[in-house]
Amino acid sequence: MFQEALAQGGLESYFPLSEQFKTQDDPAFCGLGALTMVLNALAIDPGRTWKGPWRWFDESMLECCEPLEVVRERGICIGKLDCLARCNGATTVLRYGDSTGLEEFRRDVIRTTGGRNAHLHEGEVSLCSEEACSGHHHHHHDHHQHHQEQEQDELLIVGYNRQVMGQTGTGHFSPVGGYHAGRDMALIMDVARFKYPPHWVPVPLLWEAIQAVDPETQRSRGYMVVAKGMVSESLLFTIDKTRYEEFEALAVWMRTAALKLPPLMEVEMTRGRNGVGVGGVGGEECARVDHDRLLPLFLESLPESIASMFVTIHESFCLRYSEKHLRSIDALLGGIEAHPIYATMGEQHEARLARFRTAAGRREVAAEEACCAGKVVNERHVLTILYISMLEWVCQRQGWSIFRLFSAQAVYSPPLQLEVAQLKRKIAAMADEVGPGK
């Protein structure tokens, strides 16, 4: 079957996935294992190092949407897995089983496994007999050659109920590594390799398995089409690199902050009843950063040009946003304003904010020009998201859990999660650009 699918051009996804094929690190980490495989197979830059100098995704790094300890205890739903993919540099299309027909699912399987060869067998399901498919074996070398010349730019992760397929266990995630057009079967690259090797599953049966309801969410399971996103894909904020001297000064500050913030964050910890440190795990009893003490130190250390360096994308590139983007920006600014740090800045640090105010920061801009749904972006928005992004970046560098930074009540809205993720990548790039000797 493998040779037949290869001859049909249905194994374009197999090769990049097989290079990253791994066993999930924990019995409940199937979603994290599948996503790690896909992110590395798509050659997405994590924006941070794994070990030594190597920038590589590991399951322990996928924590921006759900604490690892929560995932270890009860697994992860497909909505949170989709969030993890997007906040780590991917773009996704999430489809739930109960809103996706068999034909649509089959088309997505074909497209993500056949790449640019999808047209060779799309629409020809079950038209190729085993004998006819076998007759194409002499094309084996040509298709392998084709794989080496191009990259697969979309990959598929399925979330399904094993019991529907006669397997042990219940909910599971794995990438799809191939499609056999003659038999209408998908190749599951099962990340629970201690249980099952890669195996072929009839597409109708796999579609039936994604219809099953996830008891955690009371929604059906589903699948994700994952692609490589743009590193600069922010909703609103970006860093203005046109003023080189100010940009270099800001980058130097960021690299200095990377050295000075970790000991400050440890000193300014409030100890919970269990005495767990910033890198610990657990609930509200865990030690957390004392922002009443750390935030003033942070604001006082910032260069004055910071508010003008972190600009809106509209200011930087003169873009006009779609209505959908406008709604997302509105949700982003609302998420920033709902964060306790935003309120703290206004209540306790008004005098410190004064030096960051610029004419651009104070001006009233028409909604159609600012593209912020009638809201004015001020220095509190900028400094709040910068503070959150910097602390999360430091946590990632130190291997600390970002869920120890703020109380459980400080829930991020999805737009804020994604914007923070993009800013962390820009901060990491700036710090690396300056280099250790500058």
| Cα–Cα distance, 169 to 163 (Å, whole number) | 6
Coil vs helix vs strand at 292: helix
Q: Phi first, then psi: what are they for 128, rounded to 5°?
A: -105, 115
| Cα–Cα distance, 407 to 403 (Å, whole number) | 8
Coil vs helix vs strand at 384: helix
| Cα–Cα distance, 30 to 71 (Å, whole number) | 10
Q: Which long-range contacts (CB under 8 A, 24 or more apart) does 245-248 make?
A: 246/303, 246/305, 246/308, 246/309, 247/309, 247/430, 248/434, 248/438
Q: What is the DSSP letter of 198?
A: S
CB environment 17-31: b (16+ within 10 A), e (fewer): beebbeebbeebbbb
Coil vs helix vs strand at 175: strand
| Cα–Cα distance, 303 to 250 (Å, whole number) | 7
> Which residues is 209 bridged to in the sheet?
none
Query: Any idea of the CA torsion for 124, 127, 133, 138, to the nearest 10 degrees?
Result: -50
Catalytic residue among 82, 108, 190, 214: 190
Q: What is the DSSP letter of 377?
A: P
Are 401 and 356 spatial neighbours (Cβ–Cβ below 8 Å)? no
Beta strands in 243-375 (DSSP E): 269-270, 288-289, 310-312
Catalytic residue among 121, 143, 147, 172: 172
Which is nearest to 434 in space by CA: 300, 263, 305, 244?
244
Task: Based on the residue annotation, tell me whether 172 is a catalytic residue of this protein.
Answer: yes
Catalytic residue positions, numbered: 30, 172, 190
